[in-house]
């Protein structure tokens, strides 16, 4: 990076204001918390086999008695929204010019988002099972995630208000809808366990990460775009003055 590019980056960051600067720091933490929380315990139990992560919730609820007999209506695919929102958020904002993340951080975020996207697949699957109606939406979601990740450099050139707003909406939807399903199935899990299940740390951490993502996206969507500095303002550097005098 040249001296002039460094100066341009410094000027741009100064003009962004404190809000975008805070987003630049907090957003990667939001991605990390939301992802780690999804792998952590959503249902806590003294017996490790009965402790359920976010991904386990989507599969476990299929075997609840109320779901099997049709008396409890559950949209289990909504439990896959948190990792989907994180992957989409990384794809939309990791390469954003407004945030100016280093190349290494961008590549690291996108690289880690790929295995996270695989959480949308069932624990045991085969190519034949993935085309069935049960898993069709999960496969579609995985395809969308990979499409977004493949174009992360392109989305980074999109208006910050657009990608910031989409990230905020996705994070809010992922948190709200997954909690709705959690509260829907929790009484049925209590019947199976013979005790009211405790909310695990993973759900809390994941929601905290999604909240950071939602807030960061809202700040980017509402922040004013930076004003470009005119070349004439650099005339006082001496370089431009020397060029003009040489030409004259």
The per-residue pLDDT for 105 is: 94
What's the CA gap between 172 and 7, in Å, rounded?
A: 37
The per-residue pLDDT for 125 is: 67
What's the rounded mean pLDDT across residues 31-54?
94
Q: What is the dihedral of CA 195, 198, 202, 208, to 10 degrees?
A: 140
Q: Is 52 helix (H, G, I), strand (E, B) or coil?
A: strand
The per-residue pLDDT for 148 is: 95
């Amino acid at each position: 990076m040249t001296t002039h590019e460094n100066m341009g980056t410094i000027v741009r960051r100064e003009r962004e204001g404190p809000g975008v600067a805070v987003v630049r720091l907090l957003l990667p933490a939001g991605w990390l918390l939301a992802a780690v929380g999804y792998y952590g315990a959503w249902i806590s139990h003294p017996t490790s086999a009965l402790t359920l992560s976010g991904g386990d919730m989507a599969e476990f609820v299929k075997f609840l008695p109320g779901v099997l007999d049709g008396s409890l209506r559950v949209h289990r695919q909504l439990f896959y929204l948190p990792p989907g929102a994180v992957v989409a958020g990384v794809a939309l904002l990791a390469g954003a010019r407004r945030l100016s993340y280093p190349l290494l951080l961008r590549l690291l975020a996108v690289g880690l988002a790929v295995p996270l996207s695989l959480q949308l697949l069932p624990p045991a699957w085969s190519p034949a099972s993935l085309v069935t109606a049960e898993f069709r939406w999960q496969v579609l979601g995985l395809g969308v995630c990979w499409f977004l990740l493949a174009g992360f450099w392109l989305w980074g050139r999109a208006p910050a208000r657009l990608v910031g707003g989409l990230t905020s909406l996705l994070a809010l939807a992922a948190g709200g809808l997954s909690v709705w399903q959690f509260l829907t199935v929790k009484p049925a899990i209590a019947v199976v366990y013979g005790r009211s299940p405790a909310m695990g740390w993973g759900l809390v951490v994941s929601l905290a990460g999604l909240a950071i993502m939602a807030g960061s996206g809202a700040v980017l969507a509402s922040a004013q775009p930076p004003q470009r500095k005119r070349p004439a303002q650099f005339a006082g550097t001496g370089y431009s003055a020397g060029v003009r005098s040489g030409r004259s």
